[in-house]
Structure 1
């Protein structure tokens, strides 16, 4: 299991529109092979900041299966214009889980 993590800084005053677009975009990502689950968390201290956590069966399910798919183009169209700056995406694997 792989955890994808990205901090999403949204352009000022666009959070409400972003959340509506994300509601559409989540239908795309959740339909992809290897997708396990997703959490989108809103920062309490910073109004236009979110934390995206996505679990995948493997890193390839994200980097190849999703990112190189036609559906990823739809995802980009829905979401990428909201980011400032563009997020850094990192992948993690569990070392210890309690």
Structure 2
């Protein structure tokens, strides 16, 4: 399992629109092959800051399968205009402790 972690900074005044649009966009990502689950968290201390966590079966499920799909183009069209600056996406794998 791969955990995609993205810190999202939503432009001022767009919080409500972003949250509503994200609900719609969630249907897109959750339909993808290799998708396991996702969560969106709102920061308490910083207005407009969100943490998106997406669990994928493999790294390629996200970086190849999702990002090269027509569904990703729709995801981008819905969400990418909300962010400033554009977020950095990082991937993590769990370690045994």
Q: How high is the TM-score relative to the length of structure 2?
A: 0.98
Residues 35-74 of structure 1: matches in 2 within 5 Å? Answer: 35-74=35-74
Tell me the number of residue pairs that the alignment of Structure 1 and Structure 2 aligns: 97
Rounded to whole Å, the distance in 2 between the matches of 1:96 and 1:77 is 38
Which residue is equivalent to 1:24? Answer: 24
Q: Find the counterpart in structure 2 of residue 89 from structure 1.
A: 89
- In structure 2, what is the Cα distance between the partners aligned to 1:90 and 1:5? 5
Residues 3-32 of structure 1: CA deviation (Å, up to 9, x unaligned): 000000000010100000000000000000
CA apart distance, 1:47: 1.3
Correspondence list, 1:2-17, <5 A = 2-17=2-17
Unmatched tracts of structure 1, length 5 or more: none
Q: Secondary structure at the match of 1:81?
A: helix
TM (normalized to structure 1)? 0.97
Structure 2 unaligned residues grouped into runs of 5+: none
| Structure 1 runs of 4+ with >3 Å offset | none
